[in-house]
Amino acid sequence: MQVASVLLYFFLTFDVCSQAPLDDKTARMINKAVSIGYQPGRGSIQSPDDIGKWIQKLAEGGDAESQHDFGLICEMTGKKEEAFRWFEKSANQGWTEAEYDLARCYTLGIGCQKDSSKAVEIYKKSANKGNKDSQVMLGLMYKNGNGVTKNLNEARRYLKLASEQGDGAAKAYLLEVDSKSD
């Protein structure tokens, strides 16, 4: 847990002071840490490790967002099976980012056996709720025929959805798909 906690601590102490825009996940983690009492050197969270411990407590209490965040911490620290379990708990509560990461686990065999059909099922569930990462993955799977029958129309559909949400990679993949024909 220490590596992930140190990274989060870095984000909290340095990115907050910079002028660069934060990505959504980093901003959410910062807000979560602030909401649970983060103040460098003061209060209940005094070190990077304390952040991970508090996120774990919130996860154990059933908070879907924290379960996902703690799953990410577990994955970053090599605890793949534990990460899978936290993603699954969060996804079962409908947290779309956790659904994406759970599907990614099934795709790559992270903490579980590879299962393309299960991955596709979960990606679709998340994509249909608007998760652009899942939309991109489905688009690529349909584009290349990985885990599904190759279908450029479906690839276009999912990549277009992600592209409309501003995903730059989806835009590039969409151009590639549009240059091909079925």
- What would the pLDDT profile of 91-134 be if each residue is shown by its tens digit? 999 999 999 999 999 999 999 999 999 999 999 999 999 999 99
Residues 91 and 137 in one domain: no
Residues 110 and 140 in one domain: no
Quick one: CA torsion of 41, 45, 47, 51, rounded to 10 degrees? Answer: -150
- The predicted model scores a pTM of 0.77
Q: Of 114, 144, 172, which closes a domain?
A: 114
What is the model's pLDDT at position 32? 65
Residues 22 and 71 in one domain: yes
Residues 110 and 138 in one domain: no
Let me know if residue 140 belongs to a domain. yes
Let me know if residue 85 belongs to a domain. yes
The total domain count for the chain is 2
Q: What is the CATH number of the domain that holds 40?
A: 1.25.40
Per DSSP, what are the bridge partners of residue 39?
A: 42
What is the model's pLDDT at position 52? 78
Let me know if residue 91 belongs to a domain. yes
Let me know if residue 124 belongs to a domain. no
Contacts 24+ apart (CB under 8 A), 39-45: 40/12, 40/13
Residues 110 and 158 in one domain: no
Residues 16 and 100 in one domain: yes
Let me know if residue 119 belongs to a domain. no
| 3-class secondary-structure state, position 31 | helix
Q: How far apart are CA 61 and CA 113, in angstroms?
A: 28
Let me know if residue 62 belongs to a domain. yes
What is the model's pLDDT at position 144? 94
Residues 175 and 96 in one domain: no
What is the model's pLDDT at position 54? 80
Let me know if residue 158 belongs to a domain. yes
Residues 147 and 110 in one domain: no
- What would the pLDDT profile of 7-66 be if each residue is shown by its tens digit? 555 454 444 444 455 566 666 666 666 665 555 555 555 556 677 788 888 899 999 999
Let me know if residue 123 belongs to a domain. no
- Domain assignment of residue 13, given as a range: 2-114
Residues 84 and 136 in one domain: no
Residues 104 and 148 in one domain: no
